[in-house]
Amino acid sequence: MSPTPRPESKVRVLLVDDDEDDYVVTRDLVANIPGRPIALDWVADYESALAAADRNEYQVYLIDYRLGARTGIELLFAMRERGCDRPVILLTGQSEFEIDLEAAAAGAADYLEKGRLDEVVLERSIRYAIKQHAQEAELERKVRERTAELAESNAKLREADRRKDEFLATLAHELRNPLAPILNAVEILRMQPQSPQAQGRIERQVAHLVRLIDDLLDASRVTRDKLSLTREPIDLREPLLMAVETSAPVIVAAGLTLDVQLPPDDVPLGVFGDRVRLAQLFTNLLNNAGKYTEAGGRITLAVETDGHAVTTRVTDTGLGIPAEMLEEVFSMFSQIDRTLNRAQGGLGIGLALARRVVDLHAGDIAASSPGTGHGSTFTVTLPAHG
Ligand SMILES: Nc1ncnc2c1ncn2[C@@H]1O[C@H](COP(=O)(O)OP(=O)(O)OP(=O)(O)O)[C@@H](O)[C@H]1O
Ligand SMILES: [Mg+2]
């Protein structure tokens, strides 16, 4: 699009007319126009006019209807075809209603009768043509902008849709997985009704199914914005220790070391929080650290406060997270490597839920990692309270 001229600059107008006398008349009219100065150039034929339109030097074209063997309307169409969208004012020797209609249909900005032309009429026609062109250009710019926005949101929707499809496949697997061992155990119980191993297996697998479905319910609460908290003044040690109690056995069973670093007991870790949701949040972080770290690794849970905020870091020596995924892992159902997660279990809900819970506490959660294979740190910052 051509740049809008500065208000003080001259308006450049090209007259296309095969009659030099008419040019002289028009030039004299233009010279008498007060206010914003108009620079009028003149060409006498169709080809020169097209060449000028190609150079896009003029803001307005005054085109005579009769141009030798051609008409001004043909010229107008040719200019439009070549991408010139500048306003065109058509001039005729005498008013003809037919031509007037034709001009309007072709998209002329105005249609003026030479015989009745004076500086007032000409000035007004040029001014309106410029104004209307600017408005159309602005409208076009808005449409383009809006189209780009729509394309972007469309792409985002497709991506979310794809993630949901993948998630459905994962979900089916995750729900299916515990059923085989359960069926197996039932078979064993049929023959040995007292088998404690079979009973234990069923209990573990059913508990796992319950966890998955609870996660799923939480996920749907998060996506529908229906997750609600019960917040009260608490010491963050409470949910932290609940989480450690839940996760430590899993972590130790995976052959990992868990190192918990809390400030001395006399340092308050007060927050205004939901004990259960915060415990769930830290459990998710610890379980992730355990899931995505190979045996022999170390997990550290470290807490500190400066009196304004309480900062909790869960660091592991595991798989790490590529830089471009550090934000993405917090999206619902996103998992870095599904084939790998398939073996690890999980639905890609934990961190999305964690972020929502932290948001509802007016806090912040972020992931950092030196890169694949070099471990990760998840940092949760909550406002201190009391
Ligand atoms: N400590 C970590 N180290 C490396 N990758 C991690 C870590 N924590 C999370 N991730 C990556 O982020 C993804 C999303 O984690 P999230 O906890 O949301 O889901 P999940 O663990 O796959 O399933 P679940 O819903 O059971 O938690 C994981 O699949 C994993 O790829
Ligand atoms: Mg997880």
For 321-380, the DSSP string reads --GGGTTGGGSTT--S-HHHHHHH---S-HHHHHHHHHHHTT-EEEEE-SSTTS--EEEE
Residue 334 banded pLDDT, cuts 50, 70, 90: confident
CA of 347 to the centre of ligand 1 (A): 9
| Mean of pLDDT values over 352-374 | 96
Ligand 1 binding pocket includes 171 (Cβ within 6 Å): no
pLDDT at position 116 is: 87
Residue 122: count other Cβ atoms within 10 Å of its Cβ: 22
Residue bearing the CA closest to ligand 1, atom 12: 329
pLDDT at position 346 is: 84
DSSP 87-130: -EEEEESS--HHHHHHHHHHT-SEEEEGGG--HHHHHHHHHHHH
pLDDT at position 163 is: 85
Per-chain residues with Cβ under 5 A from ion ligand 2: 288, 346, 350
Q: How far apart are the C-alpha atoms of 172 and 175, rounded to whole Å?
A: 5
Ligand 1 binding pocket includes 178 (Cβ within 6 Å): no
Where would I find the H helices in 177-295? 179-191, 196-223, 237-253, 275-291
CA of 264 to the centre of ligand 2 (A): 30
pLDDT at position 2 is: 54
Q: Determine if the pTM surpasses 0.75.
A: no
| Mean of pLDDT values over 83-109 | 91
Q: Give the pLDDT confidence of 190-231 residue by residue, as tens digits.
A: 999 999 999 999 999 999 999 999 999 999 999 899 999 999
What DSSP element (H or E) covers 60? Answer: strand 60-64
Reduce the DSSP state of residue 315 to 3 states and report it. strand
| Mean of pLDDT values over 331-341 | 77
Residue 3 banded pLDDT, cuts 50, 70, 90: low
Residue bearing the CA closest to ligand 1, atom 9: 288
Pairing of β 110-113 and β 88-92: parallel
Asked if 174 and 216 count as a contact pair (C-beta separation under 8 A), the reply is no
| Total residue count of the chain as it appears in this document | 386
Ligand 1 binding pocket includes 357 (Cβ within 6 Å): no
pLDDT at position 95 is: 77
Q: Which domains does the chain have, with CATH numbers?
A: 11-143 (3.40.50.2300), 231-383 (3.30.565.10)
| Closest ligand 1 atom, residue 353 Cα | 18
Pairing of β 110-113 and β 270-273: unpaired
Q: How is residue 142 written in tokens?
A: 């808005």
Q: How far apart are the C-alpha atoms of 19 and 45, rounded to whole Å?
A: 10
Closest CA to 227 of 363, 360, 346: 360
CA of 345 to the centre of ligand 2 (A): 9
pLDDT at position 35 is: 82
